[in-house]
């Protein structure tokens, strides 16, 4: 089974974050839960590590797509640590030559990632990986990262045909 995870890790900006930002909402929630000096970024990081490891323990392959608000080398909260602990690989490093491109308009480093289980790579399922230029494909202050996976190699089974809308049990007319 392949599990696709999308994740957002808040920045480490408690002192300057606006009152309604996600990190401040998490900070207030953790304070109400009795934490004296909550660190939402660290708590989210630990929860993500634990979640991935629990999925892997039951045999799931992982595709993690993440706005990390951090780089491969940010110490305890680095993507390198996550890659090591969860045995994940960056397909962009494998597929593309040269250093990683910045993935954020106001930054000079890569802070967005797609990481995959090593077993996905060993199947030969990765057939492409890349980045679109800023504002191509989506209007965002982040670049669009993508990977291309061959479903036959990934799932080791024939793909099922997409059912016509008429035959689907759930459709836009359901109430």
User: Could you read off the pLDDT of 8-65 as tens digits, one per residue?
Assistant: 887 776 666 777 777 788 888 888 999 888 887 888 888 899 999 999 999 999 999 9
Q: What is the pLDDT of residue 158?
A: 62
> Which pLDDT value is given to residue 13?
65
Strand 2-8 versus strand 61-67 pairing type: parallel
Residue whose pair of structure tokens reads 């106001």 in the numeric block: 106
- Burial annotation 82-102 (CB, 10 A radius, 16+ → b, else e): bbeebebbbbbbeeeeeebeb
What pTM was estimated for this model as a whole? 0.78
- At 5, the pLDDT band (50, 70, 90 cuts) reads very high
Task: Give dist(CA 113, CA 103) in Å, integer.
Answer: 9
Name the residue with higher pLDDT: 37 or 164: 37
Q: Is residue 154 helix, strand or coil?
A: helix
Examine the pLDDT at 104 and tell me if it is beyond 80: no
Rounded to an integer, what distance in angstroms lies between the CA atom of residue 40 and that of residue 162? 41
Neighbours of 162 (CB within 10 A): 7
Reply yes or no on whether the pLDDT at 164 is more than 80. Answer: no
**From the CB of residue 54, how many other CB atoms can be counted at a distance below 10 Å?**
10
The phi and psi torsions of 104 (rounded to 5 degrees) equal -135, 135
pLDDT digits (tens, 9 = 90+) for 58-80: 999 999 998 887 766 666 666 78
């Amino acid at each position: 089974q392949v599990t696709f995870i999308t994740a957002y890790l808040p920045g480490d900006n408690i002192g300057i974050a606006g009152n309604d930002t996600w990190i401040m909402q998490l900070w207030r929630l953790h304070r109400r839960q009795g934490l004296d000096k909550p660190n939402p970024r660290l708590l989210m990081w630990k929860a993500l590590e634990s979640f991935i490891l629990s999925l892997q323990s039951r045999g799931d392959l992982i595709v993690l797509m993440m706005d990390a608000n951090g780089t491969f080398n940010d110490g305890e909260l680095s993507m390198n640590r996550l890659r090591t602990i969860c045995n994940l690989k960056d397909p962009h490093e494998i597929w593309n030559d040269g250093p990683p491109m910045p993935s954020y308009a106001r930054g000079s480093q890569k802070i967005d990632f797609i990481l995959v289980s090593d077993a996905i790579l060993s199947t030969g399922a990765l057939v492409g990986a890349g980045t679109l230029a800023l504002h191509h494909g989506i209007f965002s202050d982040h670049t669009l990262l993508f990977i291309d996976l061959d479903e036959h190699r990934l799932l080791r089974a024939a793909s099922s045909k997409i059912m016509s809308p008429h035959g689907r049990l759930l459709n836009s007319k359901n109430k």
